[in-house]
Amino acid sequence: MRARYLVRKIETCAACDGQGIVVNADWQRINEENYAWMEAHTGGIFTDEACADWQNRIKATWPYSDPPLEEEPCCECEGDGEIEIWIPLVQALQESGVFAEIETQSRRALAHQAEIEDEIKAATQQRQSGPTTW
Ligand SMILES: [Zn+2]
């Protein structure tokens, strides 16, 4: 029988950092440009007049007649905030650190075994070199 073993991997979506929504790319660009303009022209003091100027500036630079929503569902995770994939069991064990932990435990066990063998060897030598009591 030939078989492959897979496990389900669920990870946080990197595109939206698990939020499930992203800022529309055009909105982000326009907001950044206009925010920089606003700061430069108002010294960071956003008065009503400055905000009105900002609104007019956005309208003047806006590429759409009917603007999209500022935030939209993430297309990478379809709004779930998580990505679900199937991966080989071996890959899951590697990624989860199980193999590394087994290796660490094996090294500790071998080191402990070597210590015990050294103690036995030392005790045996001591017994062999010590005075005979019979
Ligand atoms: Zn996402």
Cα(22) to centroid(ligand 1), Å: 7
Q: In the chain, count H helices and then E strands.
A: 4, 4
Q: Is 83 exposed, middle or buried (0-12, 13-18, 19+ CB in 10 A)?
A: middle
The pLDDT value recorded for residue 134 is 57
Which helix (DSSP H) or strand (DSSP E) does residue 110 occupy?
helix 98-129
Integer angstrom CA distances of residue 83 from 11, 24, 71, 74, 77: 5, 20, 19, 11, 6
Cα–Cα distance, 21 to 120 (Å, whole number) = 65
Cα(13) to centroid(ligand 1), Å: 5
Cα(95) to centroid(ligand 1), Å: 21
Please state the domain extents for the chain. Answer: 87-127
Which pTM value belongs to this model?
A: 0.56
> Mind listing the pLDDT tens digit of every residue in the chain (134 residues)?
899 999 999 999 999 999 999 999 888 888 888 788 878 888 878 788 888 887 787 778 777 777 788 899 999 999 999 999 999 999 999 999 999 999 999 999 999 999 999 999 999 998 888 766 55
